[in-house]
Amino acid sequence: MRELRDNNYQTYDKELWMEMVEMGWTSLTIPEKYNGLNFGYVGLGQVLEEMGRKLTVSPIISTVLLSSTLISLSKNEYLKTKLFQEIMNGTKLLTLAHEEGIHHNTESVNSLISKEQDYFLLNGKKNFVIDGQISDYFIVSAKDEKGLNTLLVLVDSNANGVEYNHKVHMDSRTYSDITFKNVKIEKDNFLSEKEDGHSILEKTFNIARIGLAAEMLGSIQEAFEITMSYLKEREQFGVKIGSFQALQHRSALMFGEIELCKSIVLKALQSIDSDDPNLSKNASLAKAKLGMIFKLVSNEAVQMHGGIGVTDDADIGFFLKRARVIQRILGDSNYHLDKLAKISSY
């Protein structure tokens, strides 16, 4: 991560990505029908958790967690056969372009698709697109001409009418604002049919939220373990600072919360593979809880490190920065607490 950041904020390491491809990570959730491993989301969750420990910068969230999931839920066999093969062999990168406001909102879609003779035109603007700078294709959400149904279309990143504004956020990763001006869409490039666009999008978001929670779990555990090691090494007033009761109490609180987080993430990942009807509830529970605990642990980690914790020499500050960004992707803790309240009829 440091190397990519220091090299003008490079988006990912291509050699490392191809190693991930060779190990089958891009095939984990793709059905066997398309030559995928069909290993399930519990398996992918373990990979994401370990990547969270190292703050690995790669297209796995955009291409595998988001895009492969959405494509799997689509009924477009032509695109499934084509895209799955390109994803698995690492030749193409994809991402989902949905957000239009300053906060995550699954319902807010103002981009429009209009029909022109035997093709369609896409107009709209998307922001906070993960890996927008490196993706070969975008899966874009838009409304039909009547503004009733949510449509999902595949757009080539080099198509005429696609304009970019790339931004580096505090986690040293690049996100893009993308404008679509009369972008031509062929009829074969629709990943939704009739009225199923919204349901595909919502289920994809729920699965992706759980995947993000798995990544956060890895980051939380790593930040906690780094901090515990520091408390056992750092001396103040002639003793190890880990002997101070106040720091022990704060550490014990974090330990207990992390154990809860492990159970929540595992249950949520299992609910994907078992097609649990409580998927939406489990997803919001995982995203809300992990977001709050990642903030708690990263804050405490920097505090317990003292002044060195906010310097570039120490790794711990990177976890705090990642926490601030990832907890806002696909809804922050407040968003999901509100959603949980509504699910429980509060």
- Predicted local confidence at residue 95, as pLDDT: 98
What CATH number belongs to 2-93? 1.10.540.10
- Predicted local confidence at residue 346, as pLDDT: 86
- Predicted local confidence at residue 85, as pLDDT: 97
> How buried is 338 (Cβ within 10 angstroms: 0-12 exposed, 13-18 middle, 19+ buried)?
middle
What one-character DSSP code corresponds to residue 190?
A: B
- Predicted local confidence at residue 58, as pLDDT: 96
**Chain-centroid distance, C-alpha 39:** 19
Rounded Cα distance, 112 and 233, in Å? 58
Query: In percent, how much of the chain has pLDDT > 90?
Result: 94
CA angle, corner 55, sides to 47 and 309, nearest 5? Answer: 145
Identity at 266, one-letter amino acid code: L
- Predicted local confidence at residue 202, as pLDDT: 97
pTM of the full predicted structure?
0.96
Query: In percent, how much of the chain has pLDDT > 70?
Result: 100
Query: 198-343, what's its fold?
Result: Butyryl-CoA Dehydrogenase, subunit A; domain 3 (1.20.140)
Strand 94-97, strand 119-130: pairing = unpaired
What CATH number belongs to 96-194? 2.40.110.10
Is the pLDDT score of 195 beyond 90? no
- Which tens digits make up the pLDDT trace of 66-118? 999 999 999 999 999 999 999 999 999 999 999 999 999 998 899 999 998 88
Domain(s) of CATH 1.20.140.10: residues in the chain:
198-343
Model confidence at 239, pLDDT cuts 50, 70, 90, reads very high
Q: Tell me the range of 21-30, 231-240, 304-313 where mean pLDDT is highest.
A: 21-30
Domain(s) of CATH 2.40.110.10: residues in the chain:
96-194
- Predicted local confidence at residue 194, as pLDDT: 79
H/E stretch holding 14: helix 14-22
Q: Which residue has the higher pLDDT, 206 or 145?
A: 206
Q: Which residues are CB-contacts of 108 (< 8 A; sequence separation ≥ 6)? A: 100, 101
Rounded Cα distance, 237 and 235, in Å? 7
Q: Which residues are CB-contacts of 335 (< 8 A; sequence separation ≥ 6)? A: 103, 104
Strand 174-185, strand 119-130: pairing = antiparallel
Identity at 146, one-letter amino acid code: K
